[in-house]
Amino acid sequence: MKRSILQLNSFSDGSTENTYRTVFKNQHGRTLFLSLALDGTKCSILDCFYTDRNQGKSEAQRRNVRPLLLKSFSFPTDKLLSVIEAELDKLFYGVEFTEDDTRELPLAEYLAVRSSDRIRKYHFLILEGSGNSVNGLPSTLRTRLKNKLHRSVYLELCYFGDGKGVVKECYYYDRSYIRQDIRVMPPMLTSCFFPYDRQHIIDLVNNEICCNFTHIIITNGNEGVDIGSDPTPICGAI
């Protein structure tokens, strides 16, 4: 029940009174920042965006990724939980207002504190590697994964040259696409070239394919993981 209570932290933005903010994870595993202004019986949404997208980019770029279903920005205060359930995909059973030492923190520091409050888990990105070694990585890396939206994705990365890697192939392979024999690239994927090292590969997969990996494990077909013979995802939200 504790996790089903919306905890709103009081903060001061210098212009509006009775302002609150919070970070929570919705039913689809997406992490959201939400800030509100309460004026008696009226509630106004000041800002709302996903914090698990564009993590390696500037604060302004991170704040651009907003929930598409959010349409209600001003409504009666007693409708707050209904709006969050209908438009932000999270069911809460009550609201708790708190005032702590995060009140005066800027947004970036507040998000960092809230992220560190969560229990960290290992989430391994398992890649099948082949070819010559480049920066400690095989020159070709492949995997089948399931992202946080439970979409199955095939991904193949290759070393291109001059320290850069390239996304050679990336497409959904859900059953409906397999039956139609079509390949559809995830719309969030915008990068083609990237620095060819472990951290940039994790950032690419997390930010643009909607995953939450923390470490990379590299294997090969001789070690029992052959992604070419079985379409089952080998890592991710499975």
* 129 plus 196 within the same structural domain: yes
Taking only the tens place, the pLDDT of each residue in 121-151 is 788 999 999 999 998 899 999 999 999 888 8
* 165 plus 206 within the same structural domain: yes
- Local confidence band at 58 (pLDDT 50, 70, 90 cut-offs): low
Range of the domain at 146: 124-236
Please give the structure tokens belonging to residue 6.
Answer: 């919306």
Among residues 77, 94, 117, which one ends one of the domains?
Answer: 117
* 192 plus 215 within the same structural domain: yes
Q: Would you state the pLDDT for residue 1?
A: 45
Please give the structure tokens belonging to residue 2.
Answer: 């504790």
Tell me how many domains the chain contains. 2
Among residues 94, 117, 140, which one ends one of the domains?
Answer: 117
The yes-or-no verdict on residue 43 having pLDDT over 50 is: yes
* 6 plus 113 within the same structural domain: yes
* 95 plus 174 within the same structural domain: no
* 20 plus 97 within the same structural domain: yes
Q: Would you state the pLDDT for residue 223?
A: 64
Burial 146-181 (b: 16+ CB within 10 A, else e): bbbeebbbbbbbbbbeeeebebeebbbbeeeeeeee
- Local confidence band at 165 (pLDDT 50, 70, 90 cut-offs): very high
Q: Would you state the pLDDT for residue 221?
A: 65
Please give the structure tokens belonging to residue 143.
Answer: 């995997």
Q: Would you state the pLDDT for residue 101?
A: 83
* 231 plus 130 within the same structural domain: yes
Among residues 91, 117, 143, which one ends one of the domains?
Answer: 117
| Non-local CB neighbours of 70 within 8 Å, separated by 6+ positions | 45, 48, 87, 88
The yes-or-no verdict on residue 108 having pLDDT over 90 is: no
The yes-or-no verdict on residue 224 having pLDDT over 70 is: no
* 132 plus 97 within the same structural domain: no
* 54 plus 108 within the same structural domain: yes
Higher model confidence: residue 224 or residue 31?
31
| Across 65-82, average pLDDT | 92
Q: Would you state the pLDDT for residue 166?
A: 96
Please give the structure tokens belonging to residue 232.
Answer: 């089952």
- Local confidence band at 100 (pLDDT 50, 70, 90 cut-offs): confident
How far apart (Å, rounded) are the C-alpha atoms in residues 27 and 42? 26
Yes or no: say if 46 and 33 are a contact pair by the CB < 8 Å rule. Answer: no
Q: Which of 185, 211, 208 is nearest to 54 (CA)?
A: 208
How far apart (Å, rounded) are the C-alpha atoms in residues 113 and 178? 42
What percent of the chain lies above the pLDDT cut of 70?
A: 89
* Mean pLDDT of the chain, nearest integer: 86
* 172 plus 215 within the same structural domain: yes
- Local confidence band at 204 (pLDDT 50, 70, 90 cut-offs): very high
Q: Would you state the pLDDT for residue 182?
A: 81
* 223 plus 128 within the same structural domain: yes
* 177 plus 222 within the same structural domain: yes
